Amino acid sequence: MARGKLITIEGLDGAGKTTLALALLDALRSRDVDARLLREPGGVRAAELIRGLVKDPELQIAARTEALLYAAARAQLVDEALVPLLEDGVCVLLDRFVDSSLAYQGAGRELGIEPVREINEFATGGLTPDLTLLLEVEPAISRGRARGRETPPDRLELESDPFFARIARAYRELATAHPDRIRTIDASQTPERVLAEAWAAVEDLV
């Protein structure tokens, strides 16, 4: 059996990752592709419990602790879900992966890209996506979208404008450094146009 494909979706909060992920999942399944959608942090019970910690606005969590918690959730997801699914030939859509930690903790929290990369290399056992779709949008737009949600903001969404500016810059630098893996999509477009560009990037892979 051929190994499945791991397709990750990245971008700022409010960029439209979840909307794209659900639409892309439908597009894959309508073409008889065995596909699953998972999210980070989360996807399996232990990782979902960690998600509650890192998202809780009532908690004070140090930057290094935050980075390690994300890595721990990721390690559990890789071992419990991602590797078995990929070995079974499933195409996995994943809402966030290592690039999020590089951008949010490495750049946003100013821990440094390389230290965060190292702990995630250990956490994932070296698992890398076959393709990453980066939804690029100006921080002001993404923050406006996030504030329009019915749910209250989580701990990271309450951060400052400079925090999100650093993240956006880090994502652009990652896309420049990994052009073979990362496809950048203008997320200010309509959801239909975003899906069309995403499908064009995914179609040959699956």
pLDDT tens, position by position, 91-138: 999 999 999 999 999 999 999 999 999 999 999 999 999 999 999 999
- Compute the distance between CA of residue 108 and CA of residue 128 in angstroms, rounded to an integer: 22
Nearest residue to 88 (alpha-carbon basis) of 4, 16, 21: 4
Question: Which among 38, 56, 45, 39 is positioned nearest to 158, based on CA atoms?
Answer: 56
Average pLDDT over residues 180-186: 98
Whether 27 shows a pLDDT value over 80: the answer reads: yes
Residue 186 sits at the vertex; the CA angle it makes with 185 and 190, to the nearest 5 degrees, is 110
Count other Cβ atoms within 10 Å, centred on residue 176.
Answer: 10
Q: Is the pLDDT of residue 147 over 80?
A: no
- pLDDT at residue 146 greater than cutoff 80: no
Phi-psi region of 60 (alpha: psi -120 to 50; beta: other; left: phi over 0): beta
Domain boundaries, the chain: 6-202
Q: Which of 101, 136, 99, 133 is nearest to 15 (CA)?
A: 136
- The tokens for 159 are 């951060």
Place of tokens 């999509």: 185
- Which residue has 């065995």 as its token pair? 34
* Mean pLDDT calculated for residue range 178-187: 97
CATH 3.40.50.720 fits 6-202, yes or no: no
Please give the average per-residue pLDDT across 68-78, as a whole number: 98
Is the pLDDT score of 148 beyond 90? no
The dihedrals phi and psi of 45, each to the nearest 5 degrees, come to: -60, -45
If pLDDT is split at 50, 70 and 90, which confidence band does 145 have? Answer: confident
pLDDT above 90 covers a percentage of the chain that reads: 86
pLDDT of residue 114: 98
Q: What is the pTM (predicted TM-score) of this model? A: 0.94
Tokens of 201: 């990037």
